[in-house]
Amino acid sequence: MDISVHGRTRHYRTVTFDSTRNTVCLIEQRLLPHCFKIVAMPDFRATARAIRQMIVRGAGAIGATAAYGLAQGARAFRGANPRRFSAHLQLVRQTLQQARPTAVDPVNAMDAVLRAMPAGATVPEQQALALAAAEEFASQDVRHCAAIGRHGEKLIRPGARILTHCNAGWLAFVDIGSATAPLYAAQQAGKKFHVYCGETRPRCQGATLTAWELAGQKIPHQIIADSAAGHLMQRGEIDLVIVGGDRVLGRTGEVANKIGTYTKAVLASRHRIPFYVAIPLSTIDWNLRSGRAIPIEERDPAEVLGAWGLARGLPAMTYFRIANLTSGARNPGFDVTPPELITGIITPEGIFNPRDLWKNRHRLGHPG
Catalytic positions, written as ranges: 246
Among residues 264, 269, 256, 268, the alpha carbon closest in space to that of 335 is found at 256
- Measured CA to CA, the distance from residue 109 to residue 114 in angstroms comes to 9
Instruction: In whole angstroms, give the CA distance from residue 205 to residue 3.
Output: 18
CA distance 349 to 363: 7
Reference 337, options 282, 260, 242; nearest CA is 260
Cα gap 37→179, rounded to integer Å: 24
Measure the CA angle with vertex 170, ends 167 and 174; round to 5°: 125
Answer whether 91's CB lies under 8 Å from 74's CB.
no
- Which residues, 6+ apart, have CB-to-CB distance to 209 below 8 Å? 29, 32, 33, 167, 169, 171, 172
Nearest to 134 by CA among 112, 105, 104, 115: 112
Task: Name the DSSP class of 210.
Answer: I
d(Cα 59, Cα 57) in Å, to the nearest integer?
A: 7
Give CA–CA dist 120/279, Å, rounded.
32
* The residue type at 8: R
